[in-house]
Structure 1
Amino acid sequence: MTPTPGALGPDARDAALAAMTGQAGEHELDVLVVGGGITGTGVALDAVTRGLSVGLLEQRDLASGTSSRSSKLIHGGLRYLEMMDFGLVREALQERGLLLTRLAPHLVSPVPFLYPLTKPVWERAYVGAGLALYDGMAKAGKYDMGVPMHRHLTRRQVARMAPDFKAESIAGAIKYYDCQVDDARMVVAVARTAAKHGAHVATRVKVTGFLREGERVVGVTARDLEHDRDLEVRARVVVNAAGVWTDEIQEMVGGRGALHVQASKGVHIVVPRDRIRSEAGFIVRTETSVLFVIPWGRHWIIGTTDTPWDLDKAHPAASRRDLDYILEHVNQILREPLDHEDVVGVYAGLRPLLSGESEPTSKISREHTVVTPVPGLVMIAGGKYTTYRVMARDAIDAAAHSLRTTGHGAVRDSITDRVPLVGAESYETRSNQRVLLARRSGLHVARIDHLLARYGGLVDDLLALVRTRRALAEPLTGAEDYLAAEVVYAVTHEGARHLDDVLTRRTRISIETFDRGVAAAPHAARLMAEILDWDDARVAEEVDHYLRRVEAERQSQRMLTDQEADEARVQVTDLV
């Protein structure tokens, strides 16, 4: 099939590198972004839609770090209300409404939560006032609220809505709404949207240093990890959006630490939906933070922890202690306790927390910071997933000042609040046509719903694949929730280069099956091999690597301490 605009297939990577290194005629980019998470891809999209020439380099895969390992929520942040940070909450709620109703309605969806109340009078008044303010801010924002208002529930109503919740221990609850997202798929959608508008995106390229002319940064040196070659990419401004790797990037520019980022580990577990009977998720206070129980298709996501992490940043490891902590706290609210045998999947991610600044900075908000430590280099750190678009806008606003000093001229204002992500267009129409699409394609309506929730209007691409190769309409062996066509599409359109990319980020097979994708790996690898020209030896290598990775993760989750868990996990490194 003919690739749609913004497709990140194998050829697109080669073309992007040729453009960024000047082989395709471009001598110098306006903006080069380092980092392929939600912030980096957001920066690329913001810059390219302002009319700038843009490149993006990512050392591993899109969303391979923090941006695929979050709580998968698009939310205002209730806890910030207690901190009296009303501006931050208002900003996040505005972005929530924008994503839900305009930019990514196919990827962002409302999700109900119960906030249990233990005190019948003062707590209901206190929490109710907070949620009234929360909803009021969302309703008064520039964009549609997109979710229902909160409502108060009695203990009996909670018991009917959530039979497995220990309702006798509470005085009732308040039901409210936030939104959820498949975080890794959102990153791919943002990257593809940037590529559709002209940005050059290349993964598996490691930045090794900065090009300098005097004090000014004028580009980077990099290593193409797939072809084992050194590159130079020149740009008027380099934007570092490397998250927890911010300090390492700063060292390359001479160690002038404008920002210091501390990694904090957050662990989530995934359990089958039938283990907790409830129509809504929960948010429960713990002694240190809050615990979310989040509906996730045929599963629940439960988390998270919040502990310092100074070990391997590429593959943070969940320990037995982390899992015990989550299970202990969730079991306090459940009639039928969960144990380790109920856990289908586990994932650990690192939050990039700002822990101090050694030089004057431009403080954009309590949550994220943008600095220009040397001319030609902009760095952004901190922040939260929900407000990625605001972070990107602030980074390019800072880059615009630097661009003016090079004689570039004025840079237009950000327009990303009016640029829907790929898949948003035609989503409502295709949703209305779901029965017709099922009839024409021969797929069950439930399959069409699954595809719509993952691809939106791009469902047409998947159905075209199925028409041309009927075998791709079959479920993937060992992971029947997904079609074989989705593996092929991940390679041809979504930048997947390795089996890990498909099983852990383009799909969620690694956390949604009890065997963590082991049975699905051979079938998926063979499908990928057809497009990437893998021989039998390479297929075997990809499958073996994935199986060893799963076993390393299982071993780490049996270890009591972070140090032991890290030692078990790092036994298996990335393929390049």
Structure 2
Amino acid sequence: MSAPKASAPSAVLNKEQHAKVWEKFGSEHYDVVIIGGGSVGAGAALDAATRGLKTAVIETRDFAGGTSSRSSKMFHGGLRYLQMLDFRLVAESLRERELSMSHLAPHLVKPLRFVFPLTHRLWERPFMASGFFLYDVMGGAKKVPMQKHYSRKGTLKQAPGLKHDAVVGGVRYYDTLVDDARHTMTVMRSAAHFGADVRTSTQVVSFEKDGERIVAANLRDTDTGETTTIRGSVFVNATGIWSDEIEKLADVKGKFRVHTSKGVHIVVPKAALDGSVAMTFVTEKSVLFVIPWGDYWIIGTTDTDWTMNLANPAATRADIDYILDHVNAKVRRPITYQDIVGVYSGLRPLVEGDSDSTTNLSRNHAVAHVAPGMVSVAGGKYTTYRVIGADTIDAAIQDVPRKVPGSVTADVPLLGADGYHALNNQIPHLAEYFGITEKQADHLLNRYGSLIYEVLAPAAEDKSLLEPVEAAEQYLRAEVLYAATHEGALHLDDILERRLRVSMEYAHRGVDSARSVAELVAPVLGWDKETTEHEINTFIERTEATLAAERELTDQAANEIASKAVETRADVDTSLDR
């Protein structure tokens, strides 16, 4: 049988590339140096690289290691912003959602059917209908159906897990689902594919100036403690919740401040709730989503102020109780602590501007020159990461001493998107060709797209790579290996928490898979036996600390436990984490 057509080789992020980029950082001059490896930094990196700028990216821990791996897993159109009359933001979000779903990343961004349960008679249906009508005509129903209204009976048919007396009707609408960590990493790999030098485990520890102009940053390798200095025409502070800390490090006065708000989600098996459609509820403090996620439901989020450790915002028992209380008020079968297989907590970077004349708040994000040679960007929605990146580079190129083309990222599909739609029609053929099940082929295609060939290539010589990961049967061993050989994973938690999502999808939180995964990647990452044991023990200790924090009632008590968890990257300067 002939093979389906494969895509061209992609950018490789691995141990050898990691060492090579470190040498380049110390010897070359860059047009743009981007600090931060989350969604905003990745979007800016791809925008800069595709404009032909010599681009470097610096990330202290791992790609999407903070907020960008801890979202509600949606590219949403901003339905709730209609209530705030922010029509421009909604229209822009819908355009970007459509662009990602249909062109830029169809393998990663999927349409998701929602039901909005109605709980009030008479006034609520026409009120919501008018809002959904605006949503649809502004672009929310371009590739997906328009809103549809249901009676109570029809709503319960769509979502049979709801209590009969909890709804009077419902409205169907569509948004999209995305694996946030995988998407951010893929955007960053796409930037590397177009020439950006990207490196994790690299922390800015100080800046150098020529007069008032920032001209260089001193770096520390957070794994080895080695130091070097990188020079550039402009530095972009895309660190999100760390934005204020980087400006303090540079001794510059920012044009806006970042306020952090904590959002917590729980993960339960599909069997815990009858149905398959996503649901949206409005609580007194937040919007509560119930989102299908493979064999699970993600339920969240909370919205509470957070002023403590930025790297490890701890979920508490009070946070989990809040989610359970509100979802159980709507569903027939109560969801209990025993149902929960995963909990994750992230921080939203909310912008507070000092001067509207010097900040761009038009898209709910802020971009500002905070000093000659430095641009800061913060806030915004994940959905509009591409626009934020373009706005940021538009501001940054004012410091680049040559003419720079405009943004082209609206026309640049991410790695794996090329040929995805055709391959999606060939799942039986792919399964037969690779010797896997159709379910496994579908799983791989919707994580890697046309890169499925790279992922499974080593299995031609080692059939054991087609076997499931120990205690995480949803994933193949080939995916673990690929995380280390192509996706820039350097540590065990990079793999179990972000390249794969084992830590949020299995009740053991990845602990039962840790040894087999570590031993598989050890030869690739150059780990000896002592290092392998250290990686396993560190992951287990961090997981135990997270679980202990979740049993505490207050943020203070949970933070005291979580902030003392051992760092995966031993040489991180945690003073920037407050």
Give the TM-score category using the shorter length: over 0.9
Name the CA distance, whole Å, in 2 between partners of 1:360 and 1:136: 32
Match of 1:211, SS?
strand
> Aligned with 1:16: secondary structure?
helix
How far 1:71 sits from its partner (Å)?
0.4
2:21 is the counterpart of 1:16:
yes
1:125-524 matches, cutoff 5 A? 125-138=126-139, 145-357=142-354, 360-403=357-400, 408-524=401-517
- Report the Cα offset of residue 19 of structure 1: 2.0
Give the superposition deviation at 1:228.
1.7
Q: Deviations over 1:108-158 (max 9, x none)?
A: 001111111122332111101111110110169xxxx32222111111112
- Three-state SS of the structure 2 residue aligned to 1:115 is strand
Could you give the per-residue CA deviations for residues 165-203 of structure 1, whole angstroms, max 9, x where no partner exists? 113332110011100100000011001000000000010
Sequence identity (%): 46
Separation in structure 2 between the aligned mates of residue 315 and residue 109 of structure 1, nearest angstrom: 29
Q: How far apart are residue 366 of structure 1 and its match?
A: 4.8
Q: 1:3: how far off? A: 10
- Tell me, in whole angstroms, the C-alpha distance in 2 between the residues paired with 1:474 and 1:374: 53
CA distance in 2, matches of 1:94, 1:207: 35
The CA deviation at 1:360 is 4.5
1:285-310 Cα deviation digits (max 9, x unpaired): 11122111111110000000111111
1:35-54 mapped onto 2 (5 Å cutoff): 35-54=36-55
Q: Secondary structure at the match of 1:178?
A: strand
Superimposed CA distance per residue, residues 518-540 of structure 1 (whole angstroms, 9 cap, x where no aligned partner): 11110000011020121111111
1:570 aligns with 2:563: yes
Map Cα deviations across residues 254-308 of structure 1 (whole Å, 9 max, x no partner). 1413221111110000000111111211101111221111111100000001111
Q: Which moved more, 1:167-176 or 1:449-458?
A: 167-176
Partner residue, 1:5: 10
- 2:118 aligned with 1:121, yes or no? no
- Report the secondary structure of 1:520's partner residue: helix
2:354 and 2:465 map into 1 onto residues whose CA distance is 52
Cα deviation per residue 1:285-338 (whole Å; 9 max; x = unaligned)? 111221111111100000001111111111110001000000000001001111
> Helix, strand or coil: the match of 1:547?
helix
Query: Aligned with 1:489: secondary structure?
Result: helix
Question: Please, which moves more after superposition, 371-380 or 354-363?
Answer: 354-363
Distance in 1 (CA, whole Å) between partners of 2:222 and 2:356 is: 34
**Worse-superposed segment, 545-554 or 158-167:** 158-167
Read off the aligned partner of 1:397 and give its amino acid letter: D
Amino acid at match of 1:374: A
Task: Give the distance between the partners of 1:85 and 1:202, measured in 2 at CA.
Answer: 37
1:445 aligned partner, one-letter code? E
Contact kept, 8 Å, 2:208 with 2:218, in 1: the verdict is: yes
Instruction: Specify the SS of the correspondent of 2:511.
Output: coil
**Deviation of the 1:253 alpha carbon:** 1.7
Which of 549, 554, 567 in structure 2 is aligned with 1:556?
A: 549
Deviations 1:190-249 (A, max 9, x none): 010000000000100110111211111112111112232111100001011000001110
Work out the CA distance in 2 between the residues paired with 1:158 and 1:457: 38
- State the Cα distance separating 1:358 from its structure 2 match: 5.9
- Give the Cα separation in 1 of the matches to 2:139 and 2:409: 20
Aligned AA (2:417): A
Q: Given the two structures, how large is their TM-score scaled by the length of structure 2?
A: 0.95
- Residue 92 of structure 2 corresponds to residue 95 of structure 1: no
Once residues 362 and 255 of structure 1 are traced to their aligned partners in structure 2, the CA distance between those partners, rounded to angstroms, is 15
Report the CA distance between 1:359 and its aligned residue.
8.2
AA of the residue aligned to 1:524: V
Distance (Å, rounded) in 2 between the aligned partners of 1:29 and 1:399:
12
Q: Aligned equivalents of 1:225 and 1:321: distance in 2? A: 34
Query: RMSD across aligned C-alpha pairs, in angstroms?
Result: 1.4
Task: Report if aligned partners of 1:364, 1:394 keep a CA contact under 8 Å in 2.
Answer: no
Q: Distance in 1 between matches of 2:355 and 2:541?
A: 42
CA distance in 2 between counterparts of 1:426 and 1:450 reads 16
- Report SS of the residue matched to 2:224: coil
Counting matched residue pairs gives 563
Q: Is the contact between residue 552 and residue 558 of structure 2 (CA under 8 Å) also seen in structure 1?
A: yes
SS at match of 2:512: coil
* 1:32/1:56 contact within 8 Å kept: yes
Partner of 2:275: helix, strand, or coil?
Answer: coil
Which consecutive unaligned segments of at least 5 residues does structure 1 have? Answer: none
Question: What code does the residue aligned with 1:124 have?
Answer: R
Letter in 2 for 1:469: D
Which amino acid is the alignment partner of residue 8 of structure 1?
Answer: L
Q: Which amino acid aligns with 2:516?
A: H
d(CA) in 2 for partners of 1:196 and 1:14?
Answer: 17
Distance in structure 2 (CA, Å) of the matches to 1:353 and 1:164: 34
TM normalised by structure 1 equals: 0.96
Residues of 2 paired with 1:349 and 1:36: CA distance?
Answer: 15
State the AA in 1 paired with 2:333.
E
CA distance in 2, matches of 1:169, 1:527: 49
2:206–2:219 contact (8 Å) kept in structure 1: yes
Structure 1 residue 441: Cα displacement: 1.4
1:561 to partner: Cα distance: 0.2
Greater CA drift, 176-185 or 541-550? 541-550
Q: Distance in 2 between matches of 1:3 and 1:483?
A: 23
1:540 maps to 533
Partner SS for 2:90: helix
Q: Is the 8 A contact 1:257 1:359 kept in 2?
A: no
Q: Aligned pair in 2 of structure 1 residues 134, 359: CA closer, same or farther (>3 Å)? A: closer
Segment drifting more, 459-468 vs 57-66: 459-468
Following TM superposition, by how much is the alpha carbon of 1:162 offset from its aligned partner in structure 2, in angstroms? Answer: 1.6
Q: What CA distance in whole angstroms lies between the structure 2 residues aligned with 1:180 and 1:335?
A: 25
Q: Say whether residues 1:85 and 2:86 are aligned partners.
A: yes
The residue type equivalent to 2:213 in the other structure is R
- In 1, the alpha carbon distance for the partners of 2:254 and 2:194 equals 34
- Amino acid corresponding to residue 137 of structure 1 in structure 2: M
Q: Distance in 2 between matches of 1:550 and 1:52?
A: 40
Query: How far, CA to CA, are the matches of 2:79 and 2:264 in structure 1?
Result: 20
